[in-house]
Amino acid sequence: DTGVSQNPRHKITKRGQNVTFRCDPISEHNRLYWYRQTLGQGPEFLTYFQNEAQLEKSRLLSDRFSAERPKGSFSTLEIQRTEQGDSAMYLCASSLSGQGATETQYFGPGTRLLVL
Amino acid sequence: AQKVTQAQTEISVVEKEDVTLDCVYETRDTTYYLFWYKQPPSGELVFLIRRNSFDEQNEISGRYSWNFQKSTSSFNFTITASQVVDSAVYFCALSGPGSASKIIFGSGTRLSIRP
């Protein structure tokens, strides 16, 4: 499978617990994005990386959220002290930048989080 | 500010009918990109098309066609001879001039194709 992969696909947790999600981008893609999608809405941008550098963060990304991409390959998104309002689908996307690249963002299957 | 409006929240048609999904956008950028993504029940967003603001030529890909009209800030999507497998939520989206710009999505149109 050469697409974007995300793990786990589903996560149920209790309020106050920490959770971590992983995204593996398409192998040669140097850009990686995180989005959040709530029921009945379109995805909303959270943050993005160029290689290992986190270059933009949305105001939606509160201080309980942290994302890393330590070696410029896979990325993790951690939510600390989860709240019920964090329940959503967390989507990862990757793209290839550079001369001749289309820069199109390709999405993974998402991680669906439910906070009880 | 950038905004994408998909006024049709749900559409239901009978198989083989043609259907058009509307999309209206707002942006102050002179260079921007428009997208359509499909989200089937499995949840994964599937890329369909990306157009830049300087290319108003309409595009056809099989049963899919897109009508970009800058004068009305619209980027509509038509499916000809719809099939049950076309049932999904379709998102229209917009990004700014930077190559790494975040994508702003509309709220989506849920399309149901009845056999």
The DSSP-derived string for A21-36 is EEEE--TT--EEEEEE
Phi, psi for A69 (deg, rounded to 5):
-145, 75
Q: Which residues contact A62 (CB under 8 A, 6 or more apart)?
A: none
pLDDT at B60 over 90: no
User: Hey, is the C-beta of B49 within 8 angstroms of any chain A C-beta?
Assistant: no
The mean-pLDDT minimum among A62-66, A84-88, A98-102, B91-95 falls in A98-102
The tokens for A82 are 């989860």
Residues in chain A: 116
> How crowded is residue A18: how many other Cβ atoms within 10 Å of its Cβ?
11
Listing DSSP states for B8-75 in one string gives -SEEEEETT--EEE--EEE-S-SS-EEEEEEE-TT---EEEEEEETT----EEETTEEEEEEGGGTEE
pLDDT at B99 over 70: no
**Cβ–Cβ below 8 Å for B106 and A42:** yes
Q: Quick one: pLDDT band at residue A100, thresholds 50, 70, 90?
A: low
Q: What local confidence, expressed as pLDDT, does residue A56 receive?
A: 87
Q: What local confidence, expressed as pLDDT, does residue A113 receive?
A: 98
Q: What is the mean pLDDT of residues A76-95?
A: 96
Give residue-wise pLDDT tens across range B79-91. Answer: 999 999 999 999 9
Q: What share of chain A is helix, strand, coil (3-state, %, to 5)?
A: 5, 50, 50
pLDDT at A11 over 90: yes
**Cβ–Cβ below 8 Å for B102 and A45:** yes
Mean predicted lDDT score pLDDT of chain B: 92
Closest CB to A104: pick one of B47, B91, B107: B47
